[in-house]
Amino acid sequence: IDRKGYVRTTLGKKSIPLHRLLVESFFDLPKDIDFTIDHIDDNKLNNSLDNFKIISNEENISKGWTQTKDKRIEMSRVRKHLSHNFRLKGDRRDTEEINIFKIIMKTIPISEVRIGDLVESFNIELDKVQYKKVEAVHELEVKKENQIKISFKDGYIVTSKWHPMAVKGVNGYFYKRSDELEIGELGVNHRGEVDKILFIDSNPKISEEYMDLTVQGTNNYFASTDKSDNFYLTHNTRKGAIAVYIEPWHIDVKDFLDLKKNSGEERRRAHDLFPALWLNDIFMKRVQEDALWTLFDPYEVRELTELYGDEFTKRYLELEKSEGITKSIISAKGLWKDILRSYFETGNPFLTFKDSANRANPNKHNGMIRSSNLCTEIFQNTSPNYYKIKVTYSDKSIDIFEEEELITVDSGMTKPAKKITALDSIGDKQVWMVDKEMTDGDTAVCNLASINLSKVNTKEDIARVVPIAIRMLDNVIDLNFYPLAKVKKTNEKSRAIGLGVMGEAQMLAESKIMWGSDEHFLKIDEVMESVSYFAIKSSSDLAVEKGIYPTFKGSEWSQGIFPIDNANKEACKLVDRGGLFGYTHDWQELKEKVKVDGMRNGYLMAVAPTSSISILTGTTQAIEPVYKRKWFEENLSGMIPVVVPNLSPETWEYYTPSYDLNQNILVKAGAIRQKWIDQGQSLNIFLSLDKASGKYLNEIYMNAWKYGLKSTYYLRSQSPEAMSDVEDRSQECVGCQ
């Protein structure tokens, strides 16, 4: 490497920048490359060779090369990407050629792969193998029954049944679940070559110890099934995130509030989780009344998670009087203060309202809503996996019971089906064998899209655009890739979608409407009515064309009950449009149509955060006021400079920064939108520290409950003297961005 950072290569004896040789030309070079060293500049060398593997030998060391750090040089492959710095001893410059570095490429067990290594990675878009940096290494466990072995003409791949696999079709590559592959299809084998699938073994019985890698970019990469076995191809996907919901009667609720605190015992913290509270009406009323609140062990009162509204309240009061169960009695207001304190300090837990969500559930006939998602805009029925009891009798006849179903055996005893044994007889038939068969529960799916209100905000434009969006989202259900069979089954059963909006702040600024004014409330009421109307109408039209969703019968849709019919009474008072005759559309006619034609989708609307797509489309984020008139947006893509759209002297005053607003205005605006939305909305609260107080926080979130909001999202706090113009969105759900 010369004084200018250039390297003389054996390829045509030319000199080119080292970083270009390694980064841009690496894949076209021979596997073994010798570098002639003229002079080494430590900084240039480290910067240029960063992330590459090197080897060194005793001959090179004896020629005067040593380490600046007192550590032995490995005589084999050095893994730490030149964290070892080499320096020339004495006065040897430009006089002696010393061959010290060599890029190596070889096959090793995946157990030896380290972060920063480069691994072969097949890019289906470029149809070739590249080398990608390893960003993380994970040890996983994949049960034998979840493994699958795909044999090609040359070699085989073993992976989990739900992994996406690259398949080559007429129009290029596409992904399929491993367990949906077919013999004869062209897949990509363990060498990254197109190869015909000859055999598929759904029960290979290979080691359950798997190694998984996260590699740079979204590509396929080669990995091993048991740390040393044959390499296989798998798929690198974006990081996931987990939101955990509990109810305020949970006996560990106070520990739950501390999960994301920066102080305290580290083993009792979970900094990467997103905690959320599933609050019910009786708790909020107890807070208002400064009454006592009873905590229970969830193992002893499991039925509370299956109830809401009046039924929940009735059972909760019974349990408070019950003897023989674990209880802890505390102050409801004291717990509420702890919740708000944690919310203010960490932005968590998210506050969501169980009874408000379930009262307005259009599919309450077919289950209940047990939580929201990470971004708190999805409200759909879910259910846990459960077991059924299969009873085989001595005459080989079979009965199947629910786990908790009460069965009277011939001895006269009545007991849950799960406690039946081979010693029992039922209906004069001797029980021979009892098996438990697991049945999949329901897992909700987010199929999201957003209408840009800065471009689409008139009745005519909404009527034109919404049907296209609804059709697109409905198609996504059929075209989507599902990681688990039960997820696909749930989505096809409810055909749930989530049409939302973005660009509200831009729409208001360009219309010269101040945020929080009566004009603002009236405008969004009219716009959201139109979006709701045409979303319902479009789904009903699709039902005529493609069929109704499987569980339509018995739903509120089938009875002509729409989101506006479940609207909170206090929220309805926020805008006066002249009562029934103030509506823009003929809702009664639409209700009659839906009763006859049905609905294609069980859930229709949900307002996601859109923190990334709003920037890409050049509008403001979702339903929020602007963070500032200009700032830097920080997300997984890095730092992005942002200026609000069409900022000018005419629009300046109408772009009111979010921290300058009374946050009760955001709550009221959210309540007006919620009247027309069957699911929910991601609603952030922005609090400047100079305005922060327990009274103010209590007022904001009590109003959120009072006006019938189903959820709030982050509480974003900011010091009044903060000079930062950076807004970090990196921890939001990527799918909702």
Positions annotated as catalytic residues are 373, 375, 377
172-177 vs 164-169, strand pairing mode: antiparallel
Q: What are the C-alpha distances in Å from 704 to residues 305, 460, 667, 683, 732?
A: 22, 32, 6, 10, 22
- Complete DSSP assignment for 1-57: --TTSEEE-SSTT-EEEHHIIIIISGGGS-SSEEEEES---HHHHHHHHTT--EE--
- φ, ψ of residue 436 to 5 degrees: the values are -105, 125
- Distance, in Å, from the CA atom of 560 to the CA atom of 558, rounded to the nearest integer, reads 6
In which element (H, E) is residue 313 found?
Answer: helix 309-321
Tokens of 581: 């005759």
From the list 255, 456, 261, the residue with the least C-alpha distance to 346 is 261
602 three-class SS: coil
- Distance, in Å, from the CA atom of 419 to the CA atom of 391, rounded to the nearest integer, reads 11
398 three-class SS: strand
Count of all residues that appear for the chain in the document: 737
54-55 vs 77-78, strand pairing mode: antiparallel
- Distance, in Å, from the CA atom of 143 to the CA atom of 668, rounded to the nearest integer, reads 50
Contact (Cβ atoms closer than 8 angstroms) between residue 699 and residue 665: no
Is the omega angle on the peptide bond into residue 349 within 30 degrees of 0, that is, cis? yes
- Complete DSSP assignment for 318-370: HHHH-SSS-EEEEEHHHHHHHHHHHHHHHS-SEEEEHHHHHHT-TTGGG----
720 three-class SS: coil
Residue carrying structure tokens 């193998």? 129
Q: What are the C-alpha distances in Å from 443 to residues 370, 437, 492?
A: 11, 19, 11
- Distance, in Å, from the CA atom of 345 to the CA atom of 326, rounded to the nearest integer, reads 31
**Percent of residues in the chain assigned helix, strand, coil, to nearest 5:** 30, 25, 40
- For 621, residues 6+ apart whose C-beta sits below 8 A from its C-beta are 502, 505, 609, 610, 611, 614, 627
Q: What are the C-alpha distances in Å from 480 to residues 148, 219, 237, 445, 547?
A: 22, 18, 15, 11, 19
* Side-chain-side CA neighbours of residue 205 (13 Å): 0
Indicate the residue type of 414: T
Question: What region does 521 belong to: left with phi over 0, alpha with psi -120 to 50, or beta?
Answer: alpha
- Distance, in Å, from the CA atom of 605 to the CA atom of 547, rounded to the nearest integer, reads 20
In sequence order, what E strands does 184-230 have? 186-188, 194-201, 209-215, 220-224
Q: What are the C-alpha distances in Å from 679 to residues 21, 82, 689, 712?
A: 54, 53, 32, 13
- Distance, in Å, from the CA atom of 683 to the CA atom of 713, rounded to the nearest integer, reads 5
